[in-house]
Structure formats: C-alpha cells, structure tokens
Structure 1
Amino acid sequence: MSGNALFVHHDELSNYCFHNNHPFHPIRLQLTLDLLREIQALAPEHMLQSRPAVPGELEWVHQPAYVEAVQQLSKYSPDPSWTTRAEQYGLMDEDTPFFSGMHDAATYVVGGSITAVEAVLSGQTTHALHLGGGLHHALSGKAAGFCVYNDAAVAIEYARRQYGARVLYIDTDVHHGDGVQWSFYSEPEVCTYSIHETGKYLFPGTGFVHERGEHHGYGACMNIPLQPYTEDDSWMECFEASVRRLIDYYKPDMIFSLHGCDAHALDPLSHMQCSMRIYQEMPAILHQLAHMYCEGRWVAVGGGGYDLWRVVPRAWSLLWLEMRDHPLKRQLDADSSLHLPQAWIDRWQDQAEVRLPTTWLDDMSHWEGIPRREEITAKNRDILAVALQDYPEV
C-alpha cells in the first residue's frame, strides 16, 4: 500500500489550551511530534503547514450567533454582557471554559482539518494526518466536551461543497462522536460511524444503536456502543465486522477518521480495558479499506486521549507509521516487544508524573483478566448484530 502521506500542523495549535491542569492539554501533540522525530519518521518534507478557518467556513456548521459569542469571549477581558451568557453557549463549565485567544486557536484546529481534506481531494497526497483536529463534540450553537468548533464536521462539509465528495466518517474515540453525527443526521452523502463506550455510562450519553439517521439520511449512520471493560478481542471483532460491512454498503469517495485513544485501560476518563494493540490494528484496517474503496483517499485527525504520557504519543505515532507504511510498522507486526527510543524517554521522564513505557506495544502478560469477559463479549455481539441487520453481508 502507498505510504504517500502528509502531516498537517501549525504551531498555533499549542494555543488551544483551556488551562495547564486541563486533561485536554496540547503537550500530547508535542510528545508525539518529538517521538516521531526521534525515530526519524517525520521529516520536513512530510510536513504541511495549515491555515486558519475563516468565519464563512465555520458557519457551514456553526450558528453565526455562536461564532460571535466565541469571538467575544476570546478577548483578554470579555465584556460582562458576554460572560453572563457564556453558560448558554457551553463555555462556562469545567470541561470547556472560555479562555483568552480561544477563537483564534480553534480556527487553526478547524483550518488544519480543512487543509488535510484539500491536500487529499486535490491529489496533492493520498493520505493526510492532522493530529491537532478531532473536536467532535462541538454542536452547532454550543461548545461541549473540550470542543469549541467542530473541525471534523466543517472539514467534511468542505469536502462536500468543494469536491462533491461522499464521505465516510469513522470515529474510534471512546466517547460518541455526537457533534459530527448530528451535523449530518439527515444527509445521505455523509455516512457517520462511531464505536465507543455506551452512552448509558459515559459522556455524552448518546450514540445508541437505534440512532440510524433520519429522513434522507436514514441508514447513513451507524453506532456500535460497547460495554464497559471491553477488551481488545471484542473491540476489534465489532470494529472490523461493522466497518467492513458499512464501507462496502456506502462506497465513499474518501474516509475521514477520528483517532481518540481513550479506550485504553490506562485512560482516566473511560471504563474500557483495551491495550495499544487496537491502535495498531484499527489504522491498518482503515488503510487497507481506503485503497480498496477510495483510491487511497484517507484523512485522519486526533481526538481524545487523556493518559498524556503513556498512551497518546504511542497510539498517535502508530497511526502515522501506518499512514506512511514506515518500516517500523512492519517490524512491530513481527515483534511486539520493540522498545521506544531511550533518548525520548530520558528527555521527558522528569516532566512526567508516571513512569514512561519502554515498549511500543503493551506487555499483556501481567494484565489481569476481566471476570465478566464472556458476558461483555456476548452483549457486544448482540449490539453488533442489531447494528448490521439492515446492511447486506460483504
């Protein structure tokens, strides 16, 4: 498969930071960039500098009144008439508090995802990765779940408006991709897919299997809500079966995937029991499907992931290695015990509050099994069967 991929980035992404103690911290991106450069997998010729989104693009998805509210609350000292209304725009709670420079930083997040789509659909590259993107919870008129503007929804809309593309959106974040789903719930030319921990127990409380789309968009929406404490085998069984069935049914022009890595057992904001294995295997499946169905056209963005030190840098690096078809990816396929570069560990260990991992993949020999494994697996298979009932077998 082609390793023709560009890494979309801009230094302004580091300014998307609510505060230093917030779980959605831009150091995740810095750690990943440094790891990729340490193994010489990210060269200057791989980089593509992005641009900010402009108001007209934001308003394809977001209400003008909401964009104005974000702009006003981004000032160093917002007018009290706006701060008293911040709560109605979702910008006053602990998850997504307004901060100085918020609008400008968020426009670079959105612009990066647009840049990635443009690079792929214009033919400049086959694959593009924008790890700074993935703000999938932002709604048309309200911020939510660490997300101010919904870069994924805007970038997908860009693909539709500028290229008339049919897009399959694949969300592997442990939290349901609600903002993107609702943006295209009635739209047959955008198919949204999300595999996640069930909303019965986890934010945002949506993404149930009966959410299938509405009107002309009915059937262009699939959710796979999994049980808490799902492990690798069950997650991958449900992911592979559902994604392969859906893409064969929908036949998109491009895959747009979101790679939150918060289904890992170490993540503090979910209840799943997966290892680094799923973050090696899911991109490999998407890479294959992109070439089988979309002539390789594949855009990927970041997303959640809140074990900043032990999980996110490894998972996101594995995604880039897959997109580039890097030799290290093939070495990991053959040897799961390969070590991370010691220089990277030494550089960051003093800043980390936890012991950094030494290998790319997790050593599963000391992991405790889940007592309810068979019950969890059975319930997940039941959900999978319901999700697939209206789609013909491949």
Structure 2
Amino acid sequence: MDTHSLAARGTTTSAARRPLYLGAEVYRNSSYGRKHPLSIQRVSLATDLTRAMGWLPDEAYLDSPLASVDQLARFHTRDYIAALAKAEADQRVDAETGQRYNLGKLENPVFPEMYRRPATGAGAAILAARLVKDGGLVYSPASGTHHAAPGRASGFCFFNAPVLGILELLDQGLERVLYVDLDAHHGDGVQDAFHDDPRVLTISVHEGARWPYTGKAGDRAGGFARNLPVPAGLNDSELRFLVQQAILPLAAWYKPQAVMLQTGSDALADDPLSRLTLSNNALWEAVLELLDLAPRTIVVGGGGYNPWSVARCWGGIWAVMNGIDPATDPTPEAERLLRSITWERREGRNPPAHWFTTIADAPNEGPVREEVRALVPVVLAT
C-alpha cells in the first residue's frame, strides 16, 4: 500500500467531515482479570497514543455516556440487564445466574466494572448514531462488542453496542444500514439481531475455522447477511481483494444511508487469538475505502489482545479518518507511552523493537489464494 496516497485520499474525503472521537475514563483501570485476554489496556492506550501523536485535539473528543436501562432494553432483556447490574454490585454470581446468563466464567468473568464498562460502550454507540443523524463521522473504539445476545453474555461481550447503535439509526427512519465487520471472529450477534431485517445488510470477514464457528460462506441468515470466512494466513493483498471485489460491489448494490465499520485488530499478525496475518496497513486501507460509502459513518473497535498492536492500529484508524498518514515515526511522547506498556503473556516479555518505534507495521503482501477468490462469487450471487 502506498501510505502517502492513502493520506492524500483521506484528506480529500473523510477529514472534511470533522470526525468526532468517543472515549471514557472507565476503561483506563478496568480489567477482566489477570488471566483473561482482556487483562490489557486498549481503549485508554489508543486514546493516549492519538493524543501523544498530536492527532486528537480536545474539541474532537467527547466523553461517552452510560446507556440507560431503557436504552439497553431496546435489544437486551430486562432480566439480563438487572442480573448484570447485580453481579457488578455483588461481585459474584450464583450458579443458576451464571448458567442462565453465561456470567462468572473465564469467558465473561465477574469484575468491578462489568456493567458500567459495557454500558458505556453501548452508550457511545447510541450517541454516535445520534451525532451522525444529519451526516457525519464518529469513532468509538470501545463500541465493537459484537457477540452479546439479548439475554446472554458471549465472547467477552456483555452488551451488544453495534446492535444498539444500529437500532438508533433505524429509529431515525433510515432504511438501509450497512454493517461491515473486519474482526477475526464472526459478527454473530449483529447478524442474528438483524437476520430477517432488510434495513440492515451485515457483511463479516472473519477466520473461518475460529470460534464461534458461524458465518459460513453460504450463510445469509434471513437473506440480509453476507459472510467471507477466510483461511488462516490472510494477508494484506487478500483483504484488499475482498474489499474491492466483494464488499464495495455489495455496497454499490445496497446504496447504504449509513455505514458502521467494526475494526477488531485481532486479525493482525501480532495478535495471539487468531491465525490471520494482516498488517495494520491493511485495516487502515480498508477503513479508508469504506469511509465514504454513505453520509453517515460510525467506526467502532472490536477484538484485539496485544496492547501494542491494538493501540497502534486503532490510533492509526483515527489518523486515517482525519486524512493523516499514520505511517510515521512516533513522537518522543508516543514512544515513551509504547515503551511503558507491560504484557504478561510470553510474547510481551521480550517485545520486538518495532512495537515501540513504529506506528505502521511492515506490510504483509502476498498472493491471493484460490480459496479467497472463491468467496467472491458466493457472496455476490443473487
């Protein structure tokens, strides 16, 4: 990818819409527990890095509100909402509650902010939808929790922020919302929420042989989903191919009035929870290609379990949204921040130098394999 070309293209498109960034301090000292993949800092690191790079002026930043019970109940059951709030207050769940709502296990543990943290991500998604009502561009890195079901936690996700944001868009009278999910894991919760609703087209690019083992190539849910389950080792060239040959043609056919992009960074080569091998350049390029498909665009985060790769990737997404080339050297303040990160996993005990000294990964171009090419006619078939 020509990153200078990327920056120039971004300057002439998305930056004119003056993007807004939604964050909150609840993420700064919150952890799912020492043994959990989300023991790491993510949203706070990405926010701090964008500030350290000089990319995030105060006027672009907004604090995320806590979603109300009534707002959460637009999708989630009230008994589940109450159970989650009680679990946070008590810092425990009994066996029956844990079984019923999938709480209290390693996947979805009890921790001090287990209600407030996801309710803040959900509140941000709802606010983002309201901010783009008359057109606009909003980034909410905490709002990519795409697995949660109406009455159960799933896949580290307690509330489904993308669903709640899309519902707010639909409540405004929109009839065509495009949701594109670039996480390593299938966006099952969002697909299920809108499986028979023609007002929402969901497109998910995900590792095929990976939990939750849904999202097969021929799976169209109720007719309004498209799935691109990719093989291990997905490279930058292959993601570019799928964006250009599958996602953009589907978008041209659907003519969305609003777009939500889910940008989980767990598809990157440095992430421990997938076997995909993208560089962050590939996600930045995909975001740029998809930013201007509709007058209303919301970009959210998602998975990502290496603190360095998450912070650099998500910080770079914000740069791209502002027409800034993220393939630049860290400022001294940014490098100090990157060097201050600790990660207890084996990979974090002796981190490579580029995690401190670069924002952009080395590109990982390669051949477009036949199994990737074969996905395109399946999703484009009427």
TM-score (norm: length of structure 2): 0.88
CA RMSD of aligned residues (A): 2.0
- Opposite residue 66 of structure 1, the aligned amino acid is Y
- CA deviation after TM superposition for structure 1 residue 12, in Å: 2.3
1:264-343 alignment to 2 at 5 Å? Answer: 264-287=268-291, 289-290=292-293, 294-295=294-295, 297-309=296-308, 311-326=309-324, 328-329=325-326, 332=327, 338-343=328-333
3-state SS in 2 of match to 1:153: helix
Between the aligned residues of both structures, percent identity stands at 28
CA shift at 1:357, angstroms? 3.7
CA deviations 1:237-258 (Å, max 9, x no partner) are 0122211111111111100111
1:8 partnered with 2:16: no
The CA deviation string for residues 137-164 of structure 1, in whole angstroms up to 9 with x for no partner, is: 1011111111000010011111111343
> Gapped runs of 5+ residues in structure 1?
333-337
**Contact (CA 8 Å) 1:279, 1:318: kept in 2 or not?**
no
Matched, 1:241 2:245: yes
Runs ≥4 residues deviating over 6 A:
none
Q: For residue 301 of structure 1, what is the amino acid of its counterpart?
A: V
* CA distance, structure 2, for counterparts of residue 135 and residue 179 of structure 1: 9
* Partners of 1:136 and 1:152 within 8 A in 2: yes
Q: Which amino acid aligns with 1:343?
A: E
Change (3 A) 1:152 1:27: same
Letter in 2 for 1:340: P
* Aligned-partner Cα distance in 1 for 2:40–2:168: 25
Q: Which moved more, 1:23-32 or 1:314-323?
A: 23-32
Counterpart of 1:146 (choices 148, 151, 156) is 156
Partner of 1:382: 374
Q: Once the 2 structures are TM-superposed, how far is the Cα of residue 165 of structure 1 from its aligned partner?
A: 4.7
Match of 2:7 in 1: none
Say whether residues 1:162 and 2:160 are aligned partners: no
Matches of 1:7 and 1:165, distance apart in 2: 26
How many angstroms apart in 1 are the aligned matches of 2:19 and 2:316? 14
3-state DSSP class of the match of 1:102?
Answer: coil
Structure 2 portions without partners, runs of 5+: 1-12, 343-347
Asked whether 1:206 is paired with 2:218, we answer no
Alignment of 1:68-217 (within 5 A): 68-78=82-92, 82-123=94-135, 126-198=136-208, 201-214=209-222
User: Are residue 260 (structure 1) and residue 252 (structure 2) matched?
Assistant: no
Superposed displacement of residue 192, structure 1: 0.7
Confirm whether residue 349 of structure 1 aligns to residue 336 of structure 2.
Answer: no
Aligned residue-pair number? 359
CA pair 323-208 structure 1, distance change in 2 beyond 3 A:
same
Separation in structure 1 between the aligned mates of residue 30 and residue 175 of structure 2, nearest angstrom = 29
1:61 positional shift: 1.4
Counterpart residue number, 2:79? 65
- The partner residue of 1:56 within 64, 70, 84 is 70
Residues 353-378 of structure 1 deviation map (CA, whole Å, 9 limit, x = unaligned): 324342222235xx7x9xxx76x710
Quote the Cα distance in structure 1 between the aligned partners of 2:151 and 2:304.
25
In 1, the alpha carbon distance for the partners of 2:379 and 2:340 equals: 46
Is contact 1:129–1:299 with CA below 8 Å preserved after alignment? yes
Amino acid of the structure 2 residue aligned with 1:321: A
- Find the counterpart in structure 2 of residue 335 from structure 1: none
Deviation at 1:15, TM superposition (A): 6.0
CA contact (8 A) 2:261 2:287 kept: no
Report the Cα offset of residue 221 of structure 1: 0.8
Q: For residues 19-38 of structure 1, what are the structure 2 equivalents within 5 Å?
A: 19-25=33-39, 27-38=41-52
Q: Name the SS for the 1:121 alignment partner.
A: coil
